[in-house]
Structure 1
Amino acid sequence: MKILMVITSHDQLGNTGKKTGFWLEEFAAPYYVFKEAGVEMVLSSPKGGQPPFDPKSDEKEFQTELTTRYKQDKEAQAALANTVKLAGVTHDGFDAVFYPGGHGPMWDLAEDPDSIALLEAFYAAGKYLALVCHAPGVLRHVKAPDGNWLVKGKKVTGFTNTEEEAVQLTKVVPFLVEDELKAKGGVFSKADDWKPYVLIDGKLVTGQNPASSGPGATVLLALLRSR
Structure 2
Amino acid sequence: MVVRAERLLFITTSVSNLGDGKPTDTGLWLQSLAEPYYLFQKKGYITEIASLKGGSAPVDRHSTQPPHNRHPMVKRFLNDREALVQLENCTPVAFINPERYSAIFITDGHAIAADAPYSRELQRLVSQAFAEKKVVAAVGYGVSALLNAKILDAKHPQAGMSILYGKQVTGYSNAEAEASGFGADHPFPLEDKIEAAGGEYTRGSRNEGPFANRAGLIITGQNVASALQVAELVVEALSYGVRLTP
Fold match by TM threshold 0.5: yes
TM-score, normalised with respect to structure 2: 0.88
Contact 2:23/2:184 (CA < 8 Å) preserved in 1?
Answer: no
In structure 2, what is the equivalent of residue 122 of structure 1?
A: 129
1:43-192 to 2 correspondences below 5 Å: 43-63=49-69, 64-145=71-152, 146-191=159-204, 192=206
Secondary structure of the structure 2 residue equivalent to 1:135: helix
Q: Deviations over 1:5-24 (max 9, x none)?
A: 11100101432443111101
CA RMSD of superposed structures (Å): 1.3
- Of 13, 16, 36, 1:8 maps to 13
Larger Rg over CA atoms: 2
1:106, 1:173 within 8 Å by CA — same for their partners in 2?
no
User: How far off its partner does 1:148 sit?
Assistant: 1.7
Paired residue secondary structure (2:100): coil
8 A contact 1:130–1:220 mirrored in 2: yes
Distance 1:170 1:153, change over 3 A: farther
- Does residue 222 of structure 1 match 2:232? no
C-alpha distance in structure 2 between counterparts of 1:65 and 1:174, whole Å:
28
Amino acid at match of 1:202: G
1:137-179: CA deviation from partner (whole Å, max 9, x where unpaired)? 1122111121122111101000011211233344454421111
Query: TM (normalized to structure 1)?
Result: 0.95
Q: Tell me which stretches of 4 or more aligned residues in structure 1 moved more than 6 Å.
A: none
Residue identity (%) = 30
8 Å contact kept, 2:50–2:92: yes
Could you give the per-residue CA deviations for residues 40-85 of structure 1, whole angstroms, max 9, x where no partner exists? 1121112211100111212212231100111111111111111111
Unaligned runs of 5+ in 1: none
